[in-house]
Amino acid sequence: MAQTFATSPLVIYNTLSANASFLNSLGTYTFLGGLTSKSFAVVTPGKPIHGLDKITGVECIIHDIGDVRRANYVTDNSSLLRTWKVFLIAWDPATGESINTASDFILSTFGGSKAIETVAVSDGLEARVQTLILIPQEGAINPNP
């Protein structure tokens, strides 16, 4: 059986969305009009998710990190070359264990990936904790993490 590699953000998305436990660790997006979906998306950096009203729980966003200027808070930009970037963002301190579960799953699924805690900000009653996971394009995917 041939190995699969993380060749695009869509490959990462499809791999993660095939795992029910990973999806269960995520929260939800609520859109204007009341429609909800899992808070899981592939987006271009800096582009908002259209029609988004509210985020509950842990959010997972995947995108290309080809432009390292967008990641100026990471001190070693060389580690960002030829990698994909996955953000896990906890919008409520009560979801801290869920963000750890999601991080552990991604790290065990994608060979050579590493996590960086990037932000812990308090804003009123909401806390936001963010983990950045870097997944190398040449890292083999473990089908049974």
Top pLDDT among 16 and 1 is at 16
**Tens of pLDDT, residues 42-84:** 887 667 788 999 888 899 999 765 544 445 445 555 556 678 8
- Per-position DSSP letters for 52-114, written without gaps between them: EEEEESEEEEEEE---GGGGTT-S-GGGGTTEEEEEEEESSGGGHHHHHHHHHHHHHHBTT-E
Rounded (10°) angle between helices 9-17 and 96-109: 120
User: What is the average pLDDT across 7-23?
Assistant: 92
Helix (H, G, I), strand (E, B) or coil at 117: strand
**Tens of pLDDT, residues 102-136:** 999 999 999 999 998 766 655 554 556 788 898 98
- Asked whether residue 144 is domain-assigned, the answer is no
Other beta carbons less than 10 A from residue 19's beta carbon: 14
**Domain residue limits at 64:** 9-46+55-136
- Asked whether residue 40 is domain-assigned, the answer is yes
- Asked whether residue 115 is domain-assigned, the answer is yes
Quick check: 19 pLDDT over 60?
Answer: yes
**Number of domain units in the chain:** 1
The pTM score is 0.81
